[in-house]
Amino acid sequence: MAIGNGDANGTAQHTPAPLDASKLVVTHSSELKTLPDPESLVFGQQQTDHMLIVHYDPKNGWGTPEIKPYGPISLDPMSSCFQYCPNVFEGMKAYVGPNGEPRLFRPKDNMARLARSAARVALPTFDTDQLLILLERLIQIESRWIPNLPGYSLYIRPTVIGTRASLGVAASDSACIYAILTPCGPYFRGVVKGVSLLGVSESVRAWPGGTGGHKLGLNYAPGFLPQRVAAKQGYDQILWLLGEEEKVTEVGAMNFFMAVKNDNGEVDLITPPLDGTILPGITRDSTLTLAKAHTSGKVTLHGLKGVNLHTFERALTMAEIAKLSDEGRILESFCVGTAVIVAPVGKIGWKGRDLVLPVHEGGLGPIGKAMWETLIAIQTGRQEFEDWSVSCA
């Protein structure tokens, strides 16, 4: 219900109700699903028993949050989300902690990015702290779905969509927040030789001044056709290149890293800068932070004792990568993201040739492996660092 106020002239004013987790209504499923064999999991295909949903309209504000059995959502055919794509989402994961409790990794950073994405397409605002409380409650209810295996987790997809029922070209003044969960294992299986990339500059994922720095649904569909073309040529993912300089941006929907031997014989860890065309990934930021902490002595990454990692967020072109490859200075390359965590890159197809990158036993090189092991340890609460791991118990 909207809150009634008065202005200086005594005229009644109505303030739409804020998102309020204390109003949550929970309806449990009458019949729970059988848990799947973790080894059979395919990313994003298995739904859990319940979902979270709450609606917003401009008169009343945010309604009663509900956790209820997973099922279809009823929307008006004119809803803005179908016509003009004000659709944003987040990718998060829940892990099993040391005492069997569910844990989240840097959830406030996800909530902040979700709010920024929603603001970019002029969706109604919401209290991110209240949404996080609701998500934690949903995860508590669905905790049996979290696989307790290394590299496995429960993927969380909070989504905000515009539901204004009008074809008029305008921002949506109505919205729906919902969250669904799916258990998942390793995103890439059997990538011992690394993920293969095809450098693409004819199509672009994002452009300066666009929306590439936000997690919007509209950023993804234009990449489906180029991805299909790359797959037909035998490549796993696209390496998106931008402009005449062919600057590296993202790998599919992941952030790109390259470890290079510098002139002093030490290691430069390079990733493209956040120039608005690249999503500010939580795993990207975590990787940079851990590399800096390792070099400063705050933490020691396994297998990298005595190795200094000099981090650089700077432009990286395909011509430079080809030169570094020809000179034998590339030590390893990997991509990072919530779904994949860390995955090795084995080769890059560019201008009719394959740049074959160093392949390490098991796939990941020493830096990528150290990052993967440390991130997993922090995510599951086995290693403390910067309050990144949050218990949902």
Closest by CA position to 146, among listed 70, 87, 92, 95: 95
Residue that has been written with the tokens 């791991």 in this structure: 389
**Based on C-alpha coordinates, what's the Rg of the chain?**
22
d(CA 351, CA 316): 17
**Per residue in 226-269, pLDDT tens?**
999 999 999 999 999 999 999 999 999 899 999 999 999 999 99
**What's the mean pLDDT in 19-48?**
94
HSE-up (13 A, CA, CB side) for residue 370: 19
Residue 5 has pLDDT above 90, yes or no: no
Domains contained in the chain, CATH given: 14-184 (3.30.470.10), 195-381 (3.20.10.10)
| Enclosing H/E stretch for 198 | strand 195-200
Res 193: pLDDT: 75
Q: What angle do CA 270, 274, 277 make, to 5 degrees?
A: 115
- Is residue 1 very low, low, confident or very high in pLDDT (cuts 50, 70, 90)? very low
DSSP state of 49: S
HSE-up (13 A, CA, CB side) for residue 16: 19
Type of residue at 219: N
d(CA 305, CA 139): 37
d(CA 58, CA 173): 6
What are the residues whose beta carbons fall under 8 Å from the beta carbon of 109, sequence distance 6 or more?
282, 285
What are the residues whose beta carbons fall under 8 Å from the beta carbon of 62, sequence distance 6 or more?
16, 17, 18, 19, 20, 54, 55, 56, 126
Give Cα 96 to chain centroid, integer Å: 19
Task: Count the helices and strands in the chain (H runs, E runs).
Answer: 7, 21
Task: State how beta strands 341-350 and 195-200 pair.
Answer: parallel
Closest by CA position to 143, among listed 196, 101, 185, 197: 101
HSE-up (13 A, CA, CB side) for residue 36: 17
Closest by CA position to 166, among listed 88, 220, 86, 236: 86
**Per residue in 343-374, pLDDT tens?**
999 999 999 999 999 988 778 999 999 999 99
Closest by CA position to 84, among listed 177, 179, 165: 165
d(CA 138, CA 48): 11
pTM: 0.94
Asked if residues 350 and 360 have their Cβ atoms less than 8 Å apart, the reply is: no
Task: Give the chain's mean pLDDT.
Answer: 94
d(CA 212, CA 264): 35
d(CA 48, CA 182): 6
Residue 134 has pLDDT above 90, yes or no: yes
One-character DSSP codes across 106-128: SHHHHHHHHHHHHHHTTPPP--H
Residue 7 has pLDDT above 60, yes or no: no
> Who has greater pLDDT, 39 or 372?
372
